[in-house]
Amino acid sequence: MKRQNNLLNNYDRVSAEQAYVSCKATAEALAKERMEGRYVLQDVVVVLDLVWSLIKQAKADERELVTMPAITAQSIEEIAQLRLAYWHASLEAEMSQSESKRQRTQELMRKLRTIRRRLFGAIDVIWPDDEAMQDRLTALKKGQGHADLASDIVALVALYRPRLKETAAWLHTAPLEALLDEGSRLAPEMLEARKEEGQTTEAEKKIEMQRRLFILLEDAYNELTTTGAYVFRRDPQRAENYAHTLRSAYARAHQPTPTPAPNK
């Protein structure tokens, strides 16, 4: 319940529901191309805080920002509405899953994404000029969702198993075999978990809507930071307020606080 409690802090249900309703159609119409390779940052509270900080800064700098074609007073307000809609969708997604099941699914996804990333990268290194392999890699990268993630691992394991000797010059055989073994063990577990939930459960729909709204929110955030960094390019102190994409700002927010050096 801790995550839900964090999301409920300062939660204005009425405003957030209204924003969700107004943004839902845009999220549902999001083009597939804009969704490929995109994932939701896991700490929703940090995302909400980062976006709110940027909105406050943008409202303070509105007069300068709206001199650029990409930004208007309305577009700044739209980012605020997207933030509220994403807030509501995140709470809905969080409440739709049991804590233990959610944690297990996230752990499975984290491990499977790591395996997929390593095996994807190896294809580029081992077979950079093999058109068939590169076409296979491109096809696999188009997959979306939990089921596609698991299916990608199954396909990659089948691709590598007969080629262990061929890849030994690039990857140590034992670690590669261990990676393939882990992928073979975890992928069916992910598929089984999804099968148990059904193809279009309410929980899955809510998670998908959270993802779509996050993509819209991230794109709006990055457009605003790009514009702000350009507008204030001759004022380094103000430009620093717009210097980071949402993902890089999120990474900075998760950096451990340096331990002060002891006084001598």
pLDDT score of 23: 97
Q: Which residues of the chain have pLDDT under 50?
A: 1, 198-200
pLDDT score of 167: 77
How far apart CA 150 and CA 184 sit, in angstroms, is 9
How far apart CA 219 and CA 149 sit, in angstroms, is 24
Summarised one tens digit per residue, pLDDT across range 71-125 is: 999 999 999 999 999 999 999 988 876 666 767 777 888 888 888 888 887 887 7
pLDDT score of 146: 54
DSSP 8-state secondary structure symbol assigned to residue 241: G
Tell me if residue 138 falls in helix, strand or coil. helix
Q: Which residues, at least 6 apart from 26, have a Cβ–Cβ distance to it below 8 Å?
A: 216
Question: Is the whole model's pTM more than 0.75, yes or no?
Answer: no
Q: Which residues, at least 6 apart from 5, have a Cβ–Cβ distance to it below 8 Å?
A: none
Q: Do 36 and 144 touch, CB atoms closer than 8 A?
A: yes
pLDDT score of 228: 96
Q: Do 83 and 44 touch, CB atoms closer than 8 A?
A: no
Q: Do 115 and 154 touch, CB atoms closer than 8 A?
A: no
In the numeric block, which tokens belong to residue 98? 């049991």
In the numeric block, which tokens belong to residue 119? 């095996």
pLDDT score of 168: 66
pLDDT score of 169: 63
Q: Do 26 and 216 touch, CB atoms closer than 8 A?
A: yes
